Amino acid sequence: MAKYIVEQSGPLKGEVVISGAKNAVLPLMAAALLAEDECIIRDVPMLRDVTFMKEILMSLGSEVVELEDNVLSITTKDIISTEAKFELVNKMRASILVMGPLLARKGVARIPHPGGCAIGARPIDLHLKGLEALGAVITYKDDYIEAATGSQGLIGDTIYLDFPSVGATENIMMAAVLAEGTTYLENAAEEPEIVDLANFLNKMGAKIKGAGTDTIRIEGVDKLGGAKHTVIPDRIETGTFMLAAAITKGAVHIKNAVPDHVKPIIAKLRECGVRIEVGDDDLIVRADLGPQSSTDIKTLPYPGFPTDIQSPFMAYLTTVEGSSTVIETVFENRFMHVAQLNKMGASIETAGNKAIIRGNARLRGCQVMATDLRAGAALVLAGLVAEGTTEISEVFHIERGYEKFIDKFCGLGAKISRIDD
């Protein structure tokens, strides 16, 4: 298993270019199943999760070709299987996003029961409730869940989501685009990745309005064609590098970003005393201008503070003046990084979904373990300022979601190397 060796590094300085968003490209790839013609997706981050999604699409009948760096061509002339295989779904939860497109195009979809993961049970009840509302019959078989429509196919309806689930919004939207009639999805997720997916589907011939608000209107059409699309920049990678600049008291120019997508992170870092200059598609983060102080965070669905930045932000809060509180409202078990940060000398106490972080911690390098993608990033940030050397294991988590992670950090002066055990 690979490990990262992170040495105490000085203030990060220089430029970093953000890659396409992992959480946008995965639903975009699934949406390509809806068309027989070629779809071309640009700014695809070359990540393990993208490879997993490519394998799943190919197992269903898609031809997936890497035309050049970061450009994928996906053509699905015919669906040869309507079952996402266990060994693929088990590797990546986002595989369930093929359910909506399979149901829309073939009238049946089978996926294994998606397991939970480190951050929570992550049920799919809202996905299934929405597909049922469109006329699918859900059957729980021993080792997979089947959604199947009768002869009448999918029929548009009004669906209310108990929680603005990102994945459920995406799955239901991708099923409704070929349904008979119009679907209203209420209390929908408003994330930028939802808007990116709706824009791609509309280029394919769908008729979707309201993406990015809490009510999305999808008017069913008979068929979708191929389209070309460029993935939006990754707002979570953007936030991660903003925090890398902040925790090391550096000065970093972040390019190919969408400042509008990281407003909560800009606001919170400014509260801590970090100076942030906002351009049209870039940010300059200056944390070398004076002391930084604590703030309080509460994660919420977009446009609230993103849960995926909670752990990297907590690592940063261990180093500023004063105590902070972090409340995690989106996932039920997303404090796995706390024990690892405390092992490095942080002083964080948790009670339920609330964490109290004492500032001015003298972090010391030691052996720690990445428990999920963003917790791994948090440990790298802590390692950049901890005395000595921090050895991070289970880094495959990190490499699922950050393209050229080490190259980008080393390009800013970070001392990080990767070793294969």
In the complex, the residues that contact ligand EPZ under the rule CB under 6 A are: 22-23, 26, 94, 120, 122-127, 163, 165-168, 189, 307-308, 330-331, 373-374, 401
Per the structure block, which two tokens stand in for 340?
A: 């690892």
Please give the angle made by the CA atoms of 179, 169 and 254, to the nearest 5 degrees: 130
Phi-psi region of 231 (alpha: psi -120 to 50; beta: other; left: phi over 0): beta
Minimal distance in Å, beta carbon 37 to ligand EPZ? 25
Cβ-proximal residue to ligand EPZ, closest one: 167
CB 303 within 8 A of CB 330: no
Residue with tokens 């799955």: 171
Closest listed residue to residue 13, CA positions, set 412, 416, 284: 412
Minimal distance in Å, beta carbon 132 to ligand EPZ? 12
Q: Which is nearer to ligand EPZ, 94 or 341 (CB)?
A: 94
Minimal distance in Å, beta carbon 129 to ligand EPZ? 8
Minimal distance in Å, beta carbon 151 to ligand EPZ? 27
CA distance 4 to 266: 28
Q: Letter for the amino acid at 389?
A: T
Q: Which is nearer to ligand EPZ, 165 or 390 (CB)?
A: 165
Q: Which is nearer to ligand EPZ, 93 or 364 (CB)?
A: 93
CA distance 51 to 36: 21
Q: Which residues, in sequence order, are bridge partners of residue 211?
A: 213
Q: Which is nearer to ligand EPZ, 6 or 124 (CB)?
A: 124
Minimal distance in Å, beta carbon 98 to ligand EPZ? 13
The residues assigned a catalytic role are 117
Q: Which is nearer to ligand EPZ, 110 or 249 (CB)?
A: 110
Closest listed residue to residue 410, CA positions, set 379, 387, 390, 380: 380
CB atoms within 10 A of CB 187: 17
